[in-house]
């Protein structure tokens, strides 16, 4: 991107009148999108964890769920968790479209300004080929701007996973984390199993 800007400014120095005001605008867009995309990634990660947990619990306790006739409740819970995850993904897609629209507007402004400056300064231009070179490089700047910003935002989004691992590693250990637990006061020292109104019969086999 810097190479394309240098070539464009070398070929058409008047293009600096457009590039200089566009720099703070681009930096402002970059800052807003990076902060928003990082927070959306956190929401998406937090929404995915309950889905995995719920799915694992459902598979492990499938026989119990069927025995207790709780399949409908588990289905509703899963759909609610899935809806939260889809909301975060749609928000991420909306943020990308928001950024793409504004980058396209900046690119169109740069290309249109380059063409206008070329038409205005055509009488003073000594080498028309340099003007064409500047416009051709200005066409590629839009994609380069988006590529640089996406690379930065993707790097920060991937660091969210490391941030979550760091948060989990800094949590305080729970009481009796080793698995042992002290019996409460007054806990009986022996137990008795009593059967009341129990009937039993042998299974009949028909041959």
Q: How confident is the model at residue 83 (pLDDT cuts 50, 70, 90)?
A: very high
Q: CA dist 145 to 5, 22, 86, 181, Å?
A: 11, 12, 28, 59
Distance CA 83, CA 151 (A): 28
pLDDT digits (tens, 9 = 90+) for 154-175: 888 888 888 888 888 888 877 6
For residue 17, give both structure tokens: 């009148």
pTM assigned to the model:
0.67
pLDDT digits (tens, 9 = 90+) for 113-136: 877 877 777 655 556 777 777 777
3-class secondary-structure state, position 182 = coil
The string of DSSP codes covering 100-150 is HHHHHHHHHHHHHHHHHHHHHSTTT-S-HHHHHHHHHHHHHHHHHHHHHHH
Distance CA 207, CA 202 (A): 16
């Amino acid at each position: 991107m810097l190479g394309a800007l240098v070539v464009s400014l070398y070929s058409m120095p008047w293009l600096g009148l457009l590039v200089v005001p566009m720099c703070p605008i681009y930096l402002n867009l970059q800052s807003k999108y990076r902060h928003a995309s990082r927070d959306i990634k956190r929401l998406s990660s937090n929404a995915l964890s309950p889905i995995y947990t719920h799915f694992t619990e459902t598979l492990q306790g499938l026989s119990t769920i069927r025995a207790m006739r709780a399949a409908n409740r588990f289905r509703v819970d899963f759909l609610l968790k899935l809806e939260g995850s889809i909301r975060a993904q749609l928000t991420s897609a909306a943020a990308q479209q928001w950024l793409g629209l504004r980058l396209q507007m900046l690119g169109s402004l740069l290309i249109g300004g380059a063409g206008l400056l070329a038409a205005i300064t055509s009488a003073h231009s000594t080498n028309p080929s340099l003007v064409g070179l500047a416009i051709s490089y200005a066409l590629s700047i839009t994609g380069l701007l988006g590529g640089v910003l996406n690379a930065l935002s993707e790097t920060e989004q991937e660091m969210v996973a490391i941030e979550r691992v760091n948060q989990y590693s800094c949590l305080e250990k729970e009481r009796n984390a080793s698995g042992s637990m002290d019996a409460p006061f007054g806990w009986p020292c022996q137990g008795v199993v009593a059967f009341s109104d129990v009937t039993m019969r042998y299974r009949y086999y028909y041959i």
